[in-house]
Each structure stands twice: as C-alpha cells, then as structure tokens.
Structure 1
C-alpha cells in the first residue's frame, strides 16, 4: 500500500495512524503542497479533488481520510473498529460527520490560519471549536470512547484525534476539558500509536 502524505496534515494523520494501529505495512509518499504537487496532472489522476490523503492499495485508490478509515476497517474485517450492528455503525458515522464538519471548520481551520500566518480573524473558528469540544466532553463523561460505550475504540476516535490533539496550535485551549484530555491520552496509549507532528505555534508556542 502507498499513502500519499504531508506531515502537518491532520487528515493524513488519520490514515497513517489507523494503518499503524492495524499493523499494516505501507509506503509513505510525501506530496509537496508548497510546490503544488497535489494539483499536478499525475496527482489529479489519483484524486481529481487534488487533496490529501490518498491510499493506493495495489491499484484500488481511495481518497478522503474518513473513507480510507472505512476502507481499511472493511478490508481487514475489523468490526471492533467499525461495528456492523445498525445502531453502532450509525453512531460511528455520526462522529465521522463531526470530524468532517465541526472539527474541520473549528479547531482544524483555526490551526491552519495560525500555522501559515494568515491575516484572518479566527474568533468564529475558536468559538466553534469550543462548542464541539463541550459536546465531546459531555459525551465522554461516562464512557471511554466517543462513538459507543464499548470498551474498545472505533474509527471515530481515530478521525477525531489529530485536530483535537493539536487544537492549541490554533489557540484553542483544552484546559477546561478534562474528559477530552483523558481520552487523548487513551488514544496515545494504544499499541501502534504514532503521533502527529507538533508545531510550536499558538498556545503550543
């Protein structure tokens, strides 16, 4: 398998983390975003959206980080990571949507602005981040993992991890969310965990 990657992308980290948690061998191919390699004709043949990550599994090409999580769980028959019963599957999908929505437009967006020094007011992004973090904090009040009360994590936890862990880089303070911080530590204690690149900006400076 080949994973087309960029080290500071939380979307890429989702795929890289899950590959590692599953113990799947893969080749990481770095795509230089600064040089526009993700918009080259060669890359657009892999993903016409011109976005990372992309997984090439022997000619089966999967783009979109959450789609890659689903693909890998199904490929490996890992119903622990992606349950098959209707209620649990729906719960996982609900939180994959949060990762693609509130997380992407909250802490992830704020981090991008700070990371690249863009002249953009992040107040709405930070406020959105705190709204979803408060909901996740409540969700974790009486369970260890986000999607279900199961004793095992799911791909929802993988999808949410990176941009919450690096939220302080976008000036999103995690100190008021003890359940979220404990959940981050549980993810980081999983066998095969690989960290996301840390950047000394924002509150992480």
Structure 2
C-alpha cells in the first residue's frame, strides 16, 4: 500500500560525502523531495567505529537514517523503506512480482560486481588502497552486460526509472575515478544522462586524493 505520507521532521542521514552507498540514499531522498538533514561521518578519523555510531549501526557502515523513532542502516534497505513509506506513486519499487524481483536482482549486482569491480577500483585509486587487477576485469564484465542490457531500453527494469537504476548509478558514473573509462559504453552513458536529468538529481562530489575510504 502506498501513501502520500511525509516525515514529521527532517530525516537524518548519516553519510560519508564520497561514498556511493551514501549517495544513493541521499539521491533518493532528494528525488522524493523529502526534507533531510545530512550528518557527515568522518571515516578518515574513524568516527564510524565510535560507540555512538555503532549504536546506530553495529557494522560501522554508512549510510544510516533516522526517521522519527526508526533507525535504519544499509543503502538498499533504506531505498526500499523510503519507497514503501513515502513514494505515493509506487513507481520506484514496483508491486508487480516480476518487476520487483528484477529490481532485487540489480540490488544484488550493486552489492556484488559493482562494488567489487568499479567500486573497489575507485577506492584503490583515490584513497590509496592496494590495487587489485581483478577489479578491472570485474568492471569490464559488468559493464559489458549492462551495455548489452541497455542497448534497446532506457532503464534497467520496466519502462521508467526504479530503485534498480539508483542502486547501480553512482559507482557506475564514478568508474573513471578508478581508471575505468566509460567511453566504450555509449548505452551506459546515455542511461547515466537519463538519471542525471531527473528533477531533484544531486551529484556526488569528487573527493580529494586520500580523502578516506
């Protein structure tokens, strides 16, 4: 059931500004037009390992949201919650079982090859982590599949943008920061431009070198 509910107070978003996981949550808050208060978590100085943050997420990861009495961690879980709670149109997380399953499939891609490929390549390049050549191979395989998938469609699932697109967007768009060019993938670039044209879109800033993790 979809409602037109609005939060009684701004949703608090604990984030790291250069985290793609944080960005997908912030992007969806903005696309929904929901009031939110960003709280920057200094991963460089280990703020995510301090007791007050671990009370919010024992895994010590961003993002975390606080919506009234609710505290919720994990970017994909946050996307699902916001869609079911605040998306009156029901378009972002379809109720149709086939389409919803396809969205969940792309969540798995976002948590697997997207992070292990372009996500980790970006971490290594920008934040001084050890380079693993497998990240390049994983990214190329992933982008090859995505390029073919997007060859005759504008979005990943169905006929309009869904949470699948948001889950996969950020680490794909910022793949060049990990020395993974997007020039060979015109369909992916077109898909990225479609997301960036959405009303309420907010970009993730490029971090300075060695900014954190």
Provide TM-score, normalisation by structure 1.
Answer: 0.94
Aligned counterparts, 1:4-83, within 5 A: 4-76=14-86, 77-83=88-94
- Alpha-carbon offset, residue 78 of structure 1: 4.1
* Aligned with residue 197 of structure 1, among 177, 189, 205: 205
Aligned to 1:141: 151
Count of residue pairs brought into register by the alignment: 198
- Alpha-carbon offset, residue 155 of structure 1: 0.5
* 1:112-138 CA distance string (max 9 Å, x none): 0111122x2332101100100111111
Provide TM-score, normalisation by structure 2.
Answer: 0.90
State the distance in 2 between where 1:37 and 1:52 align: 11
Aligned counterparts, 1:42-191, within 5 A: 42-76=52-86, 77-118=88-129, 120-148=130-158, 150=159, 152-191=160-199
Q: CA RMSD in A?
A: 1.1
State the distance in 2 between where 1:128 and 1:72 align: 30
Partners of 1:107 and 1:167 within 8 A in 2: yes
Partners of 2:125 and 2:131 within 8 A in 1: no
Partners of 1:107 and 1:126 within 8 A in 2: yes
Q: Secondary structure at the match of 1:181?
A: helix
Q: Which runs of 5+ in 2 are unaligned?
A: 1-10
State the distance in 1 between where 2:181 and 2:20 align: 18
State the distance in 1 between where 2:26 and 2:131 align: 31
Q: Which runs of 5+ in 1 are unaligned?
A: none
